[in-house]
Amino acid sequence: MDCHDVLLVLLDYQQGRLAPEAHGQVRAHLDGCTDCAHEDRLEHELTQALERRLPQHAAPLALKRRLAAQWPVDATSPAPRRQWLRSWMPAAAAAVILLALAPLAWQRVLSPWGSGRDVMVAEAVNDHVRLVQSERPLEIESGGIHQVIPWFSGRLDFAPTVRFTGDSDFPLRGGAVGYFVDRKAAALVYGRRLHTVSVFVFRADGLPWPRAGLEKLGRLEVYRTASRGFNVLLWRDGELGYAVVSDVDPRDLSLLVGRLSAS
């Protein structure tokens, strides 16, 4: 592999998309070529800058509610008139209709808050939104798990068992203390590219855990659902309960749960 070949696949190399043999060839070239190694560092720095510091804009909750109301249960029914044209009368009429229908559709599609299971899901999503929207979401910034976990000592009535120290896929950003339903919870915040993933750890006893619809994820039995545009996973592990919430792809959350449970 010469410099030209290496630079063509440098991003694939950095994102782990190369086959092992090609990955090894690029690694060997970078070890012996200062120019390409420098290019590798620059690209890495650019990725870090984009992933960690580029402002990300979350959809306003009001928009999410409108979208939920907009999506009909019967998907073949006509879509609402285009908002794009922004002429006054159709927009005003659409707003009135959406306002009138939003609570009904929201409840019908996304929020059947009837069961204890749904209360837990709603609580997890609310806690996540509070963390993300808070001006100071993290009470302890991460300098590593061994800095974050000891910080909880004396602040909780249980020891949160989380040994996953974070990695380049899911860097640990920090933690905070909050409440989950009626009890204190440790909130750990991981990053996933531009997104935030909240992991809540709390005492599991006495909560209405889902008993049906569980899926096997490694050694765990996990309840997976989506609510208000967020993906949610709930599971018990011994005396502790865990809730993971984020807007990242469900497959990414499965990866994180695997790392949390494997440690």
Partner 1 sequence: MRGGGERERAEALGREALAYADGLYNLARYLTRNPSDAEDLVQETYGRAIKASAQFTPGTNLKAWLFRILRNAFMSHYRRDRHNPVTGGLDTVTPRLPAAKDIGRQRDSVEIDRLRKAAAEDIERALLSLSEDARTVILLDLEGLTESESAEVLGCALGTVKSRLSRARAALRETLRDWEP
What is the smallest separation between the CB atom of 36 and partner 1, expressed in angstroms? 7
Distance of CA 261 to the CA centre of its chain: 17
**Of the residues 27, 146, 163, 193, which one makes contact with partner 1 according to CB under 8 A:** 193
The reply to whether 221 sits near partner 1 by the rule CB under 8 A is: no
CA dist 33 and 46 (Å) reads 20
Q: Which two tokens stand for residue 186?
A: 């440790």
Q: Which stretch binds partner 1 (CB under 8 A): 24-32, 174-182, 203-211, 221-229?
A: 221-229
Which of 24, 27, 31, 45 is the binder for partner 1 (CB under 8 A)? 45
Does 118 contact partner 1 by CB under 8 A? no
Return the closest-CA partner of residue 44 out of 71, 14, 83.
14
| Binding map of partner 1 across residues 82-101, x = CB under 8 A, - = no contact | xxx-x---------------
How many other CB atoms sit within 10 Å of the CB of residue 12?
14
Nearest to partner 1 of 20, 78 (CB atom): 78
Beta carbon nearer to partner 1, 83 or 263: 83
Contact between 114 and partner 1 per CB under 8 A = no
Q: Which residue in the set 26, 30, 36, 185 belongs to the binding site for partner 1 (CB under 8 A)?
A: 36
Longest CA–CA span in the chain (Å) reads 67
Cβ neighbours of residue 38 under 8 Å, at least 6 residues apart? none
Query: How far is residue 110's CA from residue 227's CA, in Å, rounded to a whole number?
Result: 6
Pairing mode of beta strands 140-141, 172-180:
antiparallel
Q: Determine if 163 is a binding residue for partner 1 (CB under 8 A).
A: no
**Closer Cβ to partner 1, 84 or 238, answer by number:** 84
The two tokens of residue 95 are 């707003």
Q: Where do we find the tokens 């928009």?
A: 63
Please state the closest distance from residue 219 (CB atom) to partner 1, in A.
Answer: 26
∠ CA 52-135-170, nearest 5°, is: 30
Minimum CB separation of residue 12 from partner 1 in Å reads: 8
Q: Give 199's strand partners.
A: 188, 244
Are the CB atoms for 158 and 240 separated by under 8 Å?
Answer: yes
Interface with partner 1 by CB under 8 A: which range of 78-86, 119-127, 137-145, 202-210? 78-86
Tokens read off for 117: 């299971």
What does the binding site for partner 1 look like in residue numbers (CB under 8 A)?
Answer: 3-4, 7-8, 11, 17, 35-36, 38-39, 41-43, 45-46, 48-51, 53-60, 63-64, 66-68, 70-76, 78-80, 82-84, 86, 109-110, 192-195, 226, 228-231, 247-250, 252
